[in-house]
Amino acid sequence: MDKAYVAALSVAFLFLVHYLVGRAAAGGGKGRKRLPPSPLAIPFLGHLHLVKTPFHSALGRLAERHGPVFSLRMGCRRAVVVSSPECARACFTEHDMSFANRPRFESMRLVSFDGAMLSVSSYGPYWRTLRRVAAVQLLSAHRVACMSPVICAEVRAMVRRMARLAAGGAARVQLRRRLFELSLGVLMETIARTKTSRSEACAADTDVSPEASELTRISEEIMPYLGTANLWDYLPFLRWFDVFGVRNKLMAAVRWRDAFLRRLIDAERRRMDGDGDGEKKSMIAVLLSLQKSEPELYTDTMIMALCGDLFGAGTETTSVTTEWAMSLLLSHPEALKKAQAEIDAVVGNSRRLITADDVPRLGYLHCVINETLRMYPAAPLLLPHESAADCKVGGYDVPRGTLLIVNAYAIHRDPAVWEDPGSFLPERFEDGKAEGRLLMPFGMGRRKCPGETLALRTVGLVLATLLQCFDWDTVDGAEVDMTESGGLTMPRAVPLEAMCKPRAAMCDVLREL
C-alpha cells in the first residue's frame, strides 16, 4: 500500500478519534451539557494557538468576543475562563468547595516537592494543616506586626545605599533589583533569622547580595515554566520527548533552590536553643519546634515546601507591586506630589523617617496601592483551580476536572464596574467609593494567598519611605514604558529606571542613617 495513502488514513483516523473524544468530553448525545461558548479549535492542539504573551491580555480579548464565561481546550485539558466579577464571586463563594483543588501540572509537580507546597497542594487534610500553620503560626496579623522592625531595618538599609549613590545630586537607579533585594532581606530575616551578606561599603547600583543574586537566577530559571500558558504542561508528547530540555532545566534549578533552603534549615537547626517565645523565633524555628512533637507530619520536605512557597511568592509579589506603583506615580507627577504632601503632613516637622505606625494614617497612599493592584494585580490570572465536582458557572455546565482560569486583570478593568478603567485614578478609592466592587489581587475564597497582610505592610512602608526621602523623575524626561510581561506575577517588560534625588528637608535625616 502506498505510504502516502497510509499516512492519509492515519491522519483521518486520528481526526475521528479527536472528534469522538471531544464529543464525549462535552457530554455528547443524550443529556448533553450546556458548555460555555468556545472559539474554533484545532485538532490535538485545541486552542493553544491562541496562547499569546501576555496571556491575561489574550484571554481578555477572547472574552470580548465570546463573553465573560467561555471554554478552551488546552491540548489535553479542558478549561473555563471567567472574566466577570459576578461569576468570579460565585466561583469562590457558592462553588468555593468545588474549585478548591489545584490542577496537577507536570512543571509544578517538579518544582513543588511533588505537590507538597501550600500554593499547589490538593485540597484535603494535608492542605488544611499547611494552611493552619501558615495562617496561625507564620503569617498571622499579630506575627506580621512583630515583623515591622525587620521591614523598617531593611527599608532603612536600602534608603541609606540609595542616598550614598545620590550624594552628589540626582542618581539613576534601577528599582527592580533594589526592591527584590529588600523583599528578600525581610524574608531571610523572618524565615531563617539570617541577614543577606551584601557589602555596605559598595553602593554601586549593580551591586547586590550573593543571596539576592542566587535567588534571582533560580527564579529566572523556574518562573517562565510556571505560567498558565506553558505549553509543556498541555501536550504530553512535549514531555515524552522533551526536545527543548525543559525537564532538565527545571530539575537543575530545583536542585539549586533545594540546596539553598537546606542550608537555611540546617543552620537554624544548629543554633536552636529552645528558649524565647514564638514571636521572636524565625519561621523555620517555629516549624522545627513543631517537628519535634509531630515528626511524621512536619517533615523536612514539608518545611522546605513552606519556605520555598514563602520565598517564591513573597519576593516577587511585593517587589513587582512596588515597581508598578512607582511606575504609575512617575507617569502621574501630580499624584506623586500629592502622596508626598500627605506624608509630610503626617510626619510633621519632626524631621524623622516615617515608621510602620505612620503608614495606616496615609489614606491617599493606600488609594495609590489599591489602584496599582487594580490595574496591575500581583497575579493577573491568580493561580489556576480545578473543579472537583460538576457545577454551573454563569448558567453554563462546568464538568468535573475542568481547569478554572479567573482573569483578575480583566475583572479589575471591567468598564461596567470601573469608570475609565484604563486610567490611573487613586481617588476612586477615597471615602469608600469603591466599596462592594470586586478587587482580588491575592485571590479569594479558601485558597486566597495567606501572605496578603505581610505584602501590603511591606509595600506601604517601602513606597512611603521612597517618596518621603527622594524626589523622583524619569530618565531624560522620557515617558515611562508601561509594557507588561507575561508570567504568574506580571512584571514590567523593561525594569524601571528612574532618577532619584534626596529631598532637601530629608538630607540631615539621610546623613544620620
Which residues, 6 or more positions from 238, have their beta carbon under 8 angstroms from its beta carbon? 231, 232, 244, 246
Which residues, 6 or more positions from 75, have their beta carbon under 8 angstroms from its beta carbon? 44, 45, 46, 48, 231, 234, 235, 236
Query: Cα-flanking dihedrals φ and ψ of residue 389, to 5°?
Result: -155, 160
DSSP 91: H
The three-state DSSP-derived secondary structure of 386-438 is ECCCCEEECCEEECCCCEEEECHHHHHCCCCCCCCCCCCCHHHHHHHCCCCCC
C-alpha cell at 78: 479542558
User: How many CB atoms neighbour CB 7 within 10 A?
Assistant: 10
Known binding residue 469? Answer is: no
Q: What is the largest CA-CA distance in the chain?
A: 93
303 residue type, one letter? I
How far out from the chain centre does Cα 182 lie? Answer: 16
How far out from the chain centre does Cα 469 lie? Answer: 28
- Give binding residues for heme as ranges: 449
Q: Which residues are annotated as a binding site?
A: 449
